Structure 1
Amino acid sequence: MATARVVAIANTTTTSCLLSNTAHFLPKSGLCGSSLCLTRRVALTRRSFTCTAIYNPQVQIKEQGQPETLDYRVFFQDNSGKKISPWHDIPLHLGDGIFNFVVEIPKESNAKMEVATDEPHTPIKQDTKKGKLRYYPYNINWNYGLLPQTWEDPSLANSEVEGALGDNDPVDVVEIGESRRKIGEILRVKPLAALAMIDEGELDWKVVAISLDDPKASLVNDIDDVEKHFPGTLTAIRDWFRDYKIPDGKPANKFGLGNKAANKDYALKVITETNESWAKLIKRSVPGGELSLV
């Protein structure tokens, strides 16, 4: 039987709103500015948009079907019960370098969960291959998921990463905090670093971040802090994603940028660029193919 749970995507001190055909996002200042507030139907100018604020929105997480079955889906709903997309409708920016992060895979689990980018309202489901559910060969050691309102454009070659094309998905996040989160949970995170993974020739960014409610969050603000307070973690993340396909007989993944993690500023650059690509996708300035834009 389907179950439901409720999580808040913003606390009482944060102003934001759910994206819809008429609602937009607004930082506390009342100006969109560099927060890249975005809308789907109104003509926009770059980084300067008309917005409306909604105070402290809540999102319901509703599960359909049984976990670890082909029918299992985790849908997101607004306060009225209307389905919304965790990819398109959850705001990316919360101001002051803080972003929303949607958990797809809790740490210490191995079911390969992901947003279904080709299904209406893009629910979270378990990935499949040849009709069978996919699992990692071993548990992932961090909370893993996506940055909403980002898109790695498959037509865009990145000159800094071997000319690799985007993988046609939202940007992935590896959240290094100590708590094991739940599928569909929405966390406020700050980026710390980025890894440029190249998976079968496609660029698949991994932004390393930490949830603001983690006990060590105040101690880590950039890549050097990660090395100091989470020693070996960046190398462990790179090695995990490099090697996880090897047990299935596939070659190891590669990494650009000298096989090393880039710093926070570079991670923010990746987020900005992929947010802009998402905006073009939503406005249909670039082809969406089979992607669902609702």
Structure 2
Amino acid sequence: MAATRVMMITSVASASQTTSSFFTKRPFLLPPTHKVSTFNGLCFSKRALSVKSKRPFSCNAIYNPQVQTIEQGQSETLDYRVFFQDGSGKKVSPWHDVPLHLGDGVFHFIVEIPKESSAKMEVATDEAYTPIKQDTKKGKLRFYPYNINWNYGLLPQTWEDPTHANTEVEGAFGDNDPVDVVEIGEKQRKTGEVLKVKPLAALAMIDEGELDWKIVAISLDDPKAHLVNDVEDVEKHFPGTLTAIRDWFRDYKIPDGKPANRFALGDKPVNKDYALKIIQETNESWAKLVKRSVSPGELSLF
């Protein structure tokens, strides 16, 4: 049942601090693409989030088998899919089964679109096991009109609820997808690669009336990762990047004859604390979704 896969926030008192853990009865996924990797179960400090969990649970180890990504079909075709599977060969969902939190403000990020590419890849939220595929429109594959200049993908175990109006962002409703991430590191990643990232800022994009958050983050293995910890650091060490991200997402639909997207919250990026708040809230929305506290509609919950 979908409810058995819900990653719940847990806590345990210790002599020095309170810690929390996400756990699941299903396996979770680890990077990189076409390779098998493992690491230990993880806990995270409540202090890493701006909003604390309302329910205490006891901290449990996370089950962590070997996992890998498997490509099916040829790239840039309607049949192409990137599936995730565990060490036994069982398919698992990158959206639902990859743990979100890693601790100390670090999160998992799944790459859908590598930087300097234009094929519009996405997690197929309405297909079993939610593989990554190329988006389509009227039966044709979709491409951006120009390359995206950053690694782009999603935060697992998040969901922008289309029934929830965000009173802080013009009362806009969520876009019914996981939260998007723009990773600004120097390396070009691979579709299906799972990275450890830290959020730095967020942009509140309004796309055809729907709220479509863009979390700006950096991979921990980037050479500049230690230099950037909040929105002002991005401008200092990656000058012009936040403006370039906003302008890219504002304008990319214009060549197709559509109006420009726009941005709420003063057309400016918000800071790390606000980004963490967004992640917490959309993770809670995802938990309600997989527990069927809200209707999933056509979304796949496995």
Report the TM range for the smaller structure's normalisation.
0.7 to 0.9
Query: How much does 1:6 deviate?
Result: 1.7
Shift of 1:57: 4.5
Unaligned runs of 5+ in 2: 1-32
1:96 partnered with 2:123: no
Letter in 2 for 1:287: S
* CA apart distance, 1:90: 0.1
Q: What is the deviation of 1:118?
A: 0.2
Which of 232, 235, 248 in structure 2 is aligned with 1:240? Answer: 248
Aligned to 1:200: 208
**What amino acid maps onto 1:265 in structure 2?**
D
Aligned to 1:146: 154
Structure 1: stretches of 5+ with no match in the other structure: 17-25, 37-44
Distance in 2 separating the partners of 1:182 and 1:250: 29
Q: How does 1:1-294 map to 2 (within 5 A)?
A: 5-6=34-35, 8=37, 12=39, 15-16=40-41, 26-27=42-43, 46-49=54-57, 52-54=60-62, 57-294=65-302
Partner of 1:21: none
1:143-183 alpha-carbon deviations (Å, 9 max, x no partner): 00000000000000011111110000000000000000000
2: distance between equivalents of 1:28 and 1:191?
15
Q: Distance in 1 between matches of 2:179 and 2:44?
A: 25
Aligned residues: 267
Q: Percent identity?
A: 79
In 2, Cα distance between the equivalents of 1:240 and 1:81?
39
User: For 1:87, what is the secondary structure of its paired residue?
Assistant: helix
Please, what TM-score do these two structures have when normalized by structure 2?
0.84
Seen in structure 2, the aligned counterparts of structure 1 residues 136 and 47 have a Cα distance that, compared at 3 Å, is farther
The one-letter amino acid of 1:268's match is: L
| TM-score of the aligned structures, taking structure 1 as reference length | 0.87
> Which residue type is aligned with residue 194 of structure 2?
I
Mark the CA change 1:49 to 1:67 in structure 2 (over 3 Å): closer, same or farther.
farther
**CA contact 1:7–1:186 (8 Å) conserved in 2:** no
Native 8 Å contact 2:44 2:104 kept in 1: no
The equivalent residue for 1:39 is: none
Paired residue type of 2:217: A
